Amino acid sequence: MGHGGGADMGAVMLQGTGSDVGKSVLVAGICRLLTNRGMTVRPFKPQNMSNNAAVTPEGGEIGRAQALQALACRVAPHVDMNPVLLKPQSDKSAQVIVHGKVHDTGDASYFRDQKKSLLDAVLASYHRLSAEADIVVLEGAGSPAEINLRAGDIANMGFARAANVPVLLIGDIDRGGVIASIVGTKAVIDNEDAVMIRGFLINKFRGDVSLFDDGYTAIEQRTGWKGLGVIPWLPMIHKLPAEDAVVLQRSEEASDATIEIAVPMLSRIANFDDFDPLRLEPQVQLHMVPPGEPIPASASLIIIPGTKATIADMQFLRAQGWDIDIAAHVRRGGHVLGICGGYQMLGQTIADPDGIEGAAETVDGLALLPVNTVLTPSKTLTNIAGKSIAEDRQFSGYEIHVGDTHVQTGDLGSTVMLRLDDGREDGRVSSDGRISGCYIHGLFDAAEQRQAWLARLGVSSNGDEQGVIVDNALDELAAALEKVVDMDRLLAIAEEAG
């Protein structure tokens, strides 16, 4: 394949037998593996549903998984890598982002009606990426076996057939039933879809791989698809940001942790990879608190995370009784940090006069900071760097929010939290320094910023830059995949695209 010209353009799409089988991480690993071989590689996901969004340099938003895959390709993220992003706002509707910008809010019928225009947008992005790459590595969404969703599909086989991209099917052996899930996919999809699948991969295998030899052969015989390898359980993956909130339900215990940081899992929690650097700190136990559980009294710091729907999650937080837990924590002298929607919740009021999130209304916040927020139609999308004012420590991150937050008149003693490199100020800190809030995601990625926070809580930091951790983990992942995946066969399959 030539470099960058796209003359021998190749493409391969990884689809899964279900959600959370490891598609996004495997795409990232294959992207880094091929990039390390000297190829020009681009990631692509036609349609993503996630409240974890990244800001691209041109000021658009895409799924954070595609931003990680871009990093794996050692290129800047671009809106073409994820042309349709759905951000769930309620159980029935989602904000629709097309080419990085808010396009509409829709329900299931909206997507059926808009299929043609959305598919056109997706194909335009794919062809632009194909023109600049030796190979495009694509990621499906959910599963092609969801045949009830096939008619309006642009995320899996609907796209693969429209663009003529061959597919590899990923099965997750860790969750059990992997033979049935792959063979069953072949049984339920139609023949035209089935011929797009050129092979399969088994993911997350623990133990002696030879024990699965007969199962592997049985899948090949029953489907007619060729296996391209069995991928073991890979420990470096826990250093990579997770896209799916499913992983938050698996709390990791840090054996020698000396402090606990608690994050209540809001119903529309967003951009929760903000907390990955804390999870990797040896002296910190990061406790993601699920609905129905109280916030533990043992926590030194409570972080209220970002959310796709601040007012709805303010009400959700109260319904869990977490507002009472937070008030008790503050009375005991504990620290609280709100990020983005969590910052809005720390204020006195949150107003939605234009009904952006639902009904036009104003609700009370937690009244821990002297600020008021008004939700506005325009969305702030920007990558930003700056310094925390109190410690003069660097950070870099991004803003992705609706709403303006202003200090209440008559404020007695709160101070600005961050000074941004573009001259703006962001966030507030209470007069006693224990309650903080700001709009910046990625605050803890910078080692010196994280050190300052942990020092305030009485512990030291590992001093690692999150960007370095993630980049090294991608190289480790690529090296591990090189050993177990039949890459020659994968590249031969990719050359069938077009």
Residues with a catalytic annotation lie at 340, 441
Residues 242 and 274: beta-carbon distance below 8 Å: no
Helix (H, G, I), strand (E, B) or coil at 61: strand
Q: Give Cα 252 to chain centroid, integer Å.
A: 19
Tally of CB atoms within 10 A around 160: 24
| Residue among 43, 218, 213 at smallest CA distance from 139 | 43
User: Would you state the structure tokens that stand for residue 169, as one six-digit string?
Assistant: 């099917």
Residues 182 and 222: beta-carbon distance below 8 Å: no
Residues 360 and 377: beta-carbon distance below 8 Å: no
Rounded to 5 degrees, what are φ and ψ at 202? -100, 125
Q: Helices 213-223 and 178-188, interaxial angle, to 10°?
A: 0
Q: Which helix (H) or strand (E) holds 471?
A: helix 466-484
DSSP secondary structure, 359-422, as one string = S-EEEE---SSSEEEEEEEEEEEEEEEEEETTTTEEEEEEEEEEEEEEEPTT--S-EEEEEETT
Q: Which residues contact 217 (CB under 8 A, 6 or more apart)?
A: none
- DSSP β-ladder status, 47-49 and 84-88: parallel
User: Would you state the structure tokens that stand for residue 456, as one six-digit string?
Assistant: 């305030």
- DSSP β-ladder status, 53-55 and 61-63: antiparallel
Residues 477 and 25: beta-carbon distance below 8 Å: yes
What are the C-alpha distances in Å from 205 to residues 162, 174, 208, 220?
Answer: 33, 6, 8, 18
Tally of CB atoms within 10 A around 236: 18
Residues 156 and 142: beta-carbon distance below 8 Å: yes
Q: Which residue has the tokens 């077009």?
A: 498
